[in-house]
Amino acid sequence: MGETTLVSGQAVIKISGLCKSYKKKLAVDTVALTVKRGEIYGLIGPDGAGKSSLMKTIAGVMSFEQGSLEVFDVNVDSEAAAEKIKGRLGFMPQGLGLNLYGDLSVEENIDFFAQLRQVSPQQLAERKEKLLTMTWLDKFRDRPMKNLSGGMKQKLGLICTLIHEPELVILDEPTTGVDPISRRNFWAILAELLREHGITALISTAYMDEAARFHRLSLMFNGQILTSGEPDVICQQAQGYLVQLTAEPQLEALKLLKVRYPQIETIGSRIRVFVNNISPDEALKAVSGQLIGVEIKNIQVFDTYLEDAFINLLRKDPLADQSIKEAIIPCFDNPLPDNQGIAIEAKQLTRDFGKFRSVDHINFSVRQGEIFGLLGANGAGKTTAIKMLTGILPPSSGEGTVAGADMRFAGQLIKERIGYMSQAFSLYHDLTVMENIRLYASIYGINRKIIKQRLAWVMQIAGLAGVSGQLAGSLPMGIRQRLALGCALVHQPVVLFLDEPTSGVDPVGRRHFWDILVHLARVEHVAILVTTHYMSEAERCDHLALMHAGRVIADDSPANMIQALQNEAGQMLKITTDSPSEALSCLEQANIKGSGLYGRHIQLLALDTETVENQIRVLLEKHSIKLISLEARPPTLEDVFVYRVLELENRDQA
């Protein structure tokens, strides 16, 4: 075919002045980008920034109007040119299982894509077994795709994308809606393939912790690239620090800080403030000095996280800044009492589907005004638990109370006192924003005398000004989710259930969403039970219950969960070398367990950090690998999640 073999460091993708339009809407605006062989290159940005359009154009799925695009040194300026490169790349579109066939089994999907890509029977047999084993799908080869969990669908989608061993993979938000363990498996697979075959990957993501794994990335907004570089370099571009503190009363502290600092968020009992253009010591003094009359219990300063740098860089762009300005959140018509009584309680709650036990004797309680997080992998039983507590599903055994009513006998009473935003369905996409709100107001029986006032209240609390006449299905994901929240709040409930409410929503949209939740809990004293796959969101909860295989395996505050893991498994070591892939191979061969590749860094938990550090230094020196830095930090909530679940899975298999 006359193909040229690219060596490491050569450009696989070269873009200059690229423009892509949909009628009058400019989706990609004069973008310039270069991706080198062997890189994992990331695209991040808010919903509607142009990431998917750019990726589809590079994959040859869509044409473009202006500029130049070269892939594998082929000028992709026509359908014929696009056909020349399609055999050398794999494209996985956004959405769980969207590139798969629901009625076909796992194995049938793989065979179908292999046939499409003209993979020989011998190659197929060898690659299929390897990929099925790597993704832990070998035991599910006969299961129909439609019956897989979200994580399984994404891993199957990856297999089908990789079955012809492409040189370039283009993955559009491949882990959205996938639990942290499946996400880590996904990245481990990708890292191994990169090491073995030197593939190049272009990936978009809504998870900022994943973005830190990219070798380089570009931040997109309004079709343009605002900045590009290595994750650490982009963090430095923000030119600021994070000041984290605990203060009483928290609401008063927030009020005082918001006067001076626009980039601020609540993380459970803590407040995190981004302060720029001054030194760490000056940042501490400035924040402390703002809190006159407030008791500061604890205050620390940290380097900027990628998500905070991302939002700060957006704020520096005048056009982008308009989209992230904080709105005033209105209060309930009638304030709820601040009694901190039990709002939700599950006692030995159990649900069977035939011989399968989805929820297994779970116990937990949620206080009024508390944000309670229910965490767990796909299929852990979280959604089933919520459906029982909201009266949608009857329990097989056990009991529960919600807003003072017994869930087994007071279904209608519970529905009047709660708001519920489901994972699968909560909006009518062919109705406008206002029509959706009006429909929910009638379902909840809002008095006609106040309906106009209540509709205006929902529009304001959900930040929907200017979109009232748009169809719900045409809205960006972040705005659509705020509309769904507004519909669940139209009757101003005392208890709110949210099932993965921000899945697929970008960091800006998530922060706006959580500003509303914090107001509901702290000001209105609403009890909130939320499920999420974003560990940064789980940290915002006051209390967490971790579910696995239908059981609650941990129940505590986020800080206590992290401290317990640190006591048991130690600190997280972050290792930076001049050859991370080779260094990881050395650690694995030396049986240093739990190590994984995160962009250009290696991470692992170590109880005796001094001994492990010395072991790593000697090992790398022996193999002539330069150690650039080795630092220890406390584990994160994601580390807790992965460690606890894998610990149980290993115990069950023993």
**Cα dihedral across residues 512, 514, 520, 522: positive or negative:** negative
Do 11-231 and 342-555 have matching folds?
A: yes
The pLDDT value given to residue 221: 86
Which phi-psi region, left, alpha or beta, contains residue 293 (left: φ > 0; alpha: ψ -120 to 50)? left
pLDDT mean across residues, the chain:
88
Residue 631 has pLDDT above 50, yes or no: yes
Spatial distance between the Cα atoms of 181 and 174, rounded to a whole number of angstroms: 14
- CA 29, 33, 36: angle at the middle one, nearest 5? 160
Name the band, by pLDDT with cuts 50, 70 and 90, for residue 654.
Answer: low
Mean pLDDT of the region 152-167? 88
Closest by CA position to 332, among listed 487, 523, 485, 501: 523
Burial tier of 486 (Cβ tally within 10 Å: 0-12, 13-18, 19+): buried
The pLDDT value given to residue 322: 54
Q: For domain 239-303, which architecture applies?
A: 2-Layer Sandwich (3.30)
Residue 227 has pLDDT above 50, yes or no: yes
**pLDDT tens profile 326-338:** 667 888 988 888 8
Mean pLDDT of the region 616-623? 92
Q: How many CA atoms, within 13 angstroms, populate the side-chain half-sphere of residue 358?
A: 19
- The superfamily (CATH) of domain 11-231 is P-loop containing nucleotide triphosphate hydrolases (3.40.50.300)
In CATH terms, is domain 342-555 a member of 3.40.50.300? yes
Closest by CA position to 300, among listed 265, 279, 272, 259: 272
Phi/psi of residue 539, each to 5°?
A: -65, -25
User: Residue ranges per domain, the chain?
Assistant: 11-231, 239-303, 342-555, 561-653
Joined tokens for residue 490: 């139209």
Number of Cβ atoms within 10 Å of the Cβ of 39: 21
The pLDDT value given to residue 4: 40
Q: For domain 561-653, which architecture applies?
A: 2-Layer Sandwich (3.30)
**pLDDT tens profile 244-293:** 999 999 989 999 999 999 899 888 888 999 999 899 999 999 999 999 98
Print burial letters for 420-458: b (CB count within 10 Å at least 16), e (below 16): bbbbeebbeeeebbbebbbebbeebebeeeeeeebbebb
What's the whole-model pTM score?
A: 0.83
The pLDDT value given to residue 425: 66
Of 450 and 155, the one with more pLDDT: 450
Q: Confirm if 616 and 577 have CB atoms less than 8 A apart.
A: no
Mean pLDDT of the region 461-473? 89
| Residue 210, H or E segment | helix 208-211
**pLDDT tens profile 413-434:** 777 889 999 876 678 999 999 9
Residue 220 has pLDDT above 60, yes or no: yes
Least confident of 35-44, 47-56, 390-399, 642-651: 642-651
The pLDDT value given to residue 323: 56
**pLDDT tens profile 111-121:** 999 999 999 99
Residue 25 has pLDDT above 80, yes or no: yes
Name the band, by pLDDT with cuts 50, 70 and 90, for residue 324.
Answer: low
The pLDDT value given to residue 96: 64
The pLDDT value given to residue 411: 67
Closest by CA position to 163, among listed 212, 108, 209, 218: 108
Residue 318 has pLDDT above 80, yes or no: no
Spatial distance between the Cα atoms of 421 and 434, rounded to a whole number of angstroms: 17
The pLDDT value given to residue 619: 92
